[in-house]
A and B are shown apart, each in its own frame.
Chain A
Amino acid sequence: MKLYDYVLSPSCYKARLMAALVGVKLDIRPVDFHPGAEHRGPELMALNPAGSIPILEDGDLVLTESSAMLVYLAAKAAPQWLGNDTAGLAARVQQWLSFSHRLTASLGAARLHEMLLRPGNIDALQGQGTAALRELEAGLVEQHIRGQRFLASDRPTVADIACFPYVALAPDGGVSLDPYPAIRLWSRTIRGLDGFIEMPGIHRLHELKPEPVPVVGEA
């Protein structure tokens, strides 16, 4: 499976993270998104006329929406991540998958503006991002009350992976996560999952390893 990938893209990271969590090895094809704008070049436009990344290729199948990639990776390697057990669960997963596009359009665009100088109305983007974070916070609080740690269930599903990256990277776009305790707790739980990988802007949870015995006088 080949992923057209950019290290700083939270959408590409969704696919990388999902693959790592379910143990699928991806063949990474780095795209010079910034500064080169290679995603707008002829080769990638031919593959995805929308001019966006990620793009996932598996034989004849070409996917250009990260949510579809999450579903594909889960269905192939770890179907429990789909959350298909009951009608209610399946619908809740879809609810959050759709919601995740609002995160991309608000927090993602704010991040591109603040970090990579993309044009945009930053106040409006940050405002929409804050509104989305408040909804997510409320949703997670209600999940807690139900005794569930993740967005759709008590176990992680593709919904969590679809929402996690843009949320965790909200501060990159000038939107603080300080006001959202339930989001921070959920984010830590995801970061502690077996097989979790980081992307730039999301630091390693050093507490997962015990304090090492220091090496003195080595270099």
Chain B
Amino acid sequence: MTRDTMIDGWYPVSLASQLDAHGRSTALMGEPIEVRRGEDGNAKVTGGNGRALPACIRYGHVWSSLGDPQKPLFAIPEADQPGRRLVDVGVVRVRCSPLRAVENFLDIAHFPFVHTDILGAEPHTEVQNYKVEIREDEDEVWATQVRFYQPQAAKSAEGGITTEYMYRVPAPTCSILYKTCPPRPGEWDVITLFVQPLAEDLCDVWPWMALFDDETPMTDLIHFQQTIFVQDRSILENQIPRLLPLDPGMEIPTRADLTSVAYRRWLKRHGYTYGAQLVAQ
């Protein structure tokens, strides 16, 4: 609908490890931008008319904004915990609304059908009740005590386990999930989905992870996550309508979808509607 309210947000625009002086041409909400490494080694981002845009490097990525960010980029304190492996999964382009990409990430009910024998399998399809809230202090959507039976929850998992998740939406196109960590009970693996909105119906998705796993080779970790995300991609490109409907009545949520309900409500409340449609068409 509109990009006004989302213009001051931070968005991922490149992998930090691939930043070079040559630069990368990309876009943010319809505006062409250039991302490159400046002489001082910092990331430089320029907008369509050559104006300098804000830039920072965090969580493996270069972040920028078309507007004037009022807040620093959201914090992921776990990312700085010693002992974690940081995994740059790499970009995957999807012809879908950036908001649909995030909503799919918040959903567990599709695991048995889309991530069959990895994140879920029939007959273990039930989604137990979990807690959802909009945390007013942080202004974030949270879902906690989400449990699901998984045949192979992570590269490091051996056999089926019931996994516990927490989901967090700190920005309209970013989500972080915390997931039971097979080699280290008591800690949470961090898996994120950073979405760069190119247009209302087109996005570059940059998954990123901070895991406790000293065993699995890096390439296997990357491939595991790419597998999962590309399984989702063919779903995301075939949802109708392309834009996320914020109008109740267009789609039918159940108890399993309470995270999505809260996410949509939060988007609507803030007017985060770039990639959304308000009325049924």
Report which A residues bind B (CB closer than 8 A): 6-8, 30-32, 34-36, 38, 114-117, 171-172, 174, 200-201, 203-204, 206, 209, 212-219
Q: Which residues of B contact A7 (CB under 8 A)?
A: 223, 226-227
* B206 and chain A: residue at smallest CB distance: A35
Report which B residues bind A (CB closer than 8 A): 15, 17-18, 88-93, 95, 113-114, 116-117, 122-126, 128, 147-149, 162, 204, 217-220, 222-223, 226-228, 230-231, 233-234, 237
| Bound-complex Cα distance A54 to B117 (A) | 25
> Are A217 and B126 in touch, CB under 8 angstroms?
yes
> Are A203 and B114 in touch, CB under 8 angstroms?
yes
> Are A214 and B234 in touch, CB under 8 angstroms?
no
Q: Which residues of A contact B226 (CB under 8 A)?
A: 7-8, 34, 200
Assuming A6-B223, A171-B237, A218-B149, is B230 touching A200 (CB within 8 A)?
Answer: yes
Which residue, of B95, B114, B226, B237, has the highest number of chain A Cβ atoms within 10 A? B226
| Bound-complex Cα distance A201 to B88 (A) | 21
Find B90's partner among A34, A114, A215 (CB 8 Å cutoff): A34
| Bound-complex Cα distance A35 to B149 (A) | 31
How many residue pairs, one in A and one in B, have C-beta atoms under 8 Å apart? 94
Find B219's partner among A32, A200, A214, A215 (CB 8 Å cutoff): A32
> Are A116 and B234 in touch, CB under 8 angstroms?
no
> Are A203 and B128 in touch, CB under 8 angstroms?
no
Q: Which residues of B contact A203 (CB under 8 A)?
A: 113-114, 116, 231, 234
* A212 and chain B: residue at smallest CB distance: B123
CB distance from A204 to the nearest CB of B (A): 4
> Are A214 and B90 in touch, CB under 8 angstroms?
no
| Bound-complex Cα distance A8 to B219 (A) | 13
* B147 and chain A: residue at smallest CB distance: A219
> Are A117 and B234 in touch, CB under 8 angstroms?
no
> Are A114 and B234 in touch, CB under 8 angstroms?
no
* B218 and chain A: residue at smallest CB distance: A32
* B223 and chain A: residue at smallest CB distance: A7
CB distance from A192 to the nearest CB of B (A): 15
CB distance from A203 to the nearest CB of B (A): 7
| Bound-complex Cα distance A8 to B227 (A) | 7
> Are B204 and A200 in touch, CB under 8 angstroms?
no
CB distance from A118 to the nearest CB of B (A): 10
> Are A213 and B219 in touch, CB under 8 angstroms?
no
> Are A30 and B217 in touch, CB under 8 angstroms?
yes
| Bound-complex Cα distance A193 to B30 (A) | 45
Q: Offer 22 A-B interface pairs, CB within 8 angstroms, sorted by A.
A: A7-B223, A8-B230, A30-B217, A31-B219, A34-B226, A35-B18, A35-B89, A35-B222, A36-B219, A115-B233, A171-B234, A172-B233, A201-B230, A203-B114, A203-B116, A203-B234, A206-B113, A214-B126, A215-B123, A215-B125, A217-B126, A219-B124
> Are A214 and B125 in touch, CB under 8 angstroms?
yes
| Bound-complex Cα distance A8 to B222 (A) | 11
Find B88's partner among A30, A35, A213 (CB 8 Å cutoff): A35
- 7 nearest A-B residue pairs (beta carbon): A35-B90, A212-B123, A200-B230, A219-B147, A30-B219, A204-B116, A7-B223
